[in-house]
Amino acid sequence: MRKGRFKKPAAALAQRYSESVSFDWRLYRYDIAGSIAHAAALAQGGIITAEEQRRIENELRAIEKEIESGKFEWERSLEDVHMNIEAALVKRIGVAGGKLHTARSRNDQIALDLRLYVKTEGREATTHLRQLQIALLNLAEQHLDVIMPGYTHLQRAQPITFSHYLLGQIEAFERDGERLRDCLVRTDVFPLGSGALAGSAIVLDRERIARELGFSRVSQNSLDTVGDRDFVCEFLFCLAMIGLHLSRLSEDLIIWSTSEFGFLEFSDAFSTGSSLMPQKRNPDMAELTRGKTGRLYGNLMSILTTMKALPSSYNRDMQEDKEPLFDSVDTIKTALEVFTAMLPELKVNRDRMETAASDPNLLATDLAEYLVKKGMPFREAHEIIGKLVTQCVTKRRLLNQVPLGEMKKLSPLFDADVANVFDIRRSLSGRRAVGAPSPENIAAQIKRWRSDLGKGD
């Protein structure tokens, strides 16, 4: 590459500083697939002969096998994945290999490799998400009627069921899947043929190569195409968002596994011990996932900052997109795998959950609604029940232990049927609004998810 323009080789230090093959070798499959399709277009355009195309293709496939078996020798001095593969090709088949780079630049080549990579990994991430959702759904089905307190501000609020909680998690991961699929629509744009920045006077059938490589659209502005990493930013955002959801799930599980809560226990296989304290059983998998969310955010910030204020079209800064991208992909994949394997082994302590949920204060809102149903404006009811709760606190008794006579002093609307309010299952059954946790709703949601998640993407 330097032969024509430069008198001296690059300084070893400069080579080491600028090489990317130590990490972008991972793109070899896409690079080779792109080159094979490009060679076919060159043959079709009469730039190379059918025989040359055949030799290029065969040799590229041989190189691919070598890489896969670990025998291929990557050379840092050849800078990147593109030059390494091209150099090997030229070395092996000579002149024909040297024709492959016609009407192509590494600028559109890397855009192609990256888009193919994101398309593949994006689809894989949606599959991993599905598997996690199925694990959550199985758990929800197994613990269908386990009542627990629902929290806001981490304070006991109103009763819910554990399955309602789990179905809520499935919703969040569903949005993540939708977001990924949406991001993949914009990733699915074919960049090759944009050249370095201004296309090429050697005109190839871009539509055809695009179709061959499985793209549904062809980019429409060569300058924009080589400088566009929106899809990487978006993808990293999608992955960061999955991290956020996993981190919040982690936090719930961690806190519920404490002795203070005792709602659940991680299995031995997914717990760690302490090197010092023999009694410890630590939820490290969930903690690590919560922690790894930091690097997912960092990777997103990294690409956004790299791209900010770059002049239009390709700039070498953009080489910095790869390591954060690869890191986020690896991180999310393992995190999703770990959670999918860990959740089925979670031991749910029904008694502890239901004891916590038996706190009658959780039904204070139901009590206010009891008065509302008898004609009282909600604000007034809210105040009366507030007073009742305060009285209970001072008199050290539970909300369901207040004699009817005392309740009547606060409002004549209280009657003997108020006792029904403190039936927690009855309270849950009444929550029939769309999205609320009545057992009928939960059963319907489980049925819906069973059918939706069974369909795949």
Residue 52 to residue 42: CA distance in whole angstroms: 10
For residues 160 and 307, which CB has a smaller minimum distance to ligand ARG in the complex? 307
Residue 328 to residue 317: CA distance in whole angstroms: 19
User: Which tokens is 101 given?
Assistant: 């780079």
Q: State the minimum distance, in angstroms, from the CB of residue 454 to ligand ARG.
A: 40
Residue whose beta carbon is closest to ligand ARG: 319
For residues 107 and 250, which CB has a smaller minimum distance to ligand ARG in the complex? 107
> Which positions from 6 to 35 touch ligand ARG by CB under 6 A, shown as an x/- string?
--------------x---x-----------
For residues 67 and 418, which CB has a smaller minimum distance to ligand ARG in the complex? 67
For residues 159 and 191, which CB has a smaller minimum distance to ligand ARG in the complex? 191
Q: Which member of 153, 259, 275, 451 is catalytic?
A: 153
Q: State the minimum distance, in angstroms, from the CB of residue 295 to ligand ARG.
A: 21
Binding to ligand ARG, residues 267-286 (CB under 6 A): none
**Of the ranges 69-77, 103-111, 364-372, 433-441, which one interacts with ligand ARG (CB under 6 A)?**
103-111
> Which positions from 51 to 80 touch ligand ARG by CB under 6 A, shown as an x/- string?
-----------------------------x
Indicate whether 357 belongs to the interface with ligand ARG (CB under 6 A).
no
Active site residue 245: no
Task: Say if CB 267 and CB 342 are below 8 A apart.
Answer: yes
Stretch (H or E) spanning 413:
none
C-alpha distances out from residue 382 to 56, 162, 276, 356, 362, Å? 78, 27, 51, 23, 14
C-alpha distances out from residue 285 to 156, 212, 349, Å? 26, 42, 20
**Of the ranges 102-110, 132-140, 151-159, 335-343, which one interacts with ligand ARG (CB under 6 A)?**
102-110
Distance of CA 46 to the CA centre of its chain: 45
Beta pairing partners, 89:
none
For residues 120 and 315, which CB has a smaller minimum distance to ligand ARG in the complex? 315
**Of the ranges 104-112, 136-144, 402-410, 447-455, which one interacts with ligand ARG (CB under 6 A)?**
104-112
Q: Which residue has the tokens 């599905």?
A: 130
For residues 78 and 146, which CB has a smaller minimum distance to ligand ARG in the complex? 78
- Given 35, 84, 107, 427, the residue binding ligand ARG (CB under 6 A): 107
C-alpha distances out from residue 169 to 1, 129, 163, Å? 52, 11, 10
Q: What is the DSSP string of 319-366?
A: GGGHHHHHHHHHHHHHHHHHHHHHGGGPEE-HHHHHHHHT-GGGGHHH
At what angle are helices 106-142 and 81-93 packed, to 10 degrees? Answer: 120
Q: State the minimum distance, in angstroms, from the CB of residue 321 to ligand ARG.
A: 7
Q: Which member of 22, 216, 267, 274 is catalytic?
A: 274
What are the b/e assignments for 233-269, b being 16+ CB within 10 Å? bbbbbbbbbbbebbbebbebbbebbeeebebbbbeee
Read off the amino acid at residue 157: A
Residue 304 to residue 421: CA distance in whole angstroms: 53
Residue 378 to residue 427: CA distance in whole angstroms: 18
Q: State the minimum distance, in angstroms, from the CB of residue 27 to ligand ARG.
A: 9
Q: State the minimum distance, in angstroms, from the CB of residue 101 to ligand ARG.
A: 12
Q: State the minimum distance, in angstroms, from the CB of residue 85 to ligand ARG.
A: 13
Residue 67 to residue 20: CA distance in whole angstroms: 17
Nearest residue to 361 (alpha-carbon basis) of 395, 383, 381, 385: 385
For residues 1 and 419, which CB has a smaller minimum distance to ligand ARG in the complex? 1
> Which positions from 308 to 347 touch ligand ARG by CB under 6 A, shown as an x/- string?
--------x-xx----------------------------
Active site residue 38: no
- Given 42, 63, 78, 110, the residue binding ligand ARG (CB under 6 A): 110
Q: State the minimum distance, in angstroms, from the CB of residue 19 to ligand ARG.
A: 9
Q: Which residue has the tokens 């398309």?
A: 119
- Given 38, 101, 104, 106, the residue binding ligand ARG (CB under 6 A): 106
Q: Annotated catalytic sites, by residue? A: 153, 274
Q: By the criterion CB under 6 A, which residues form the site for ligand ARG? A: 20, 24, 80, 106-107, 110, 316, 318-319
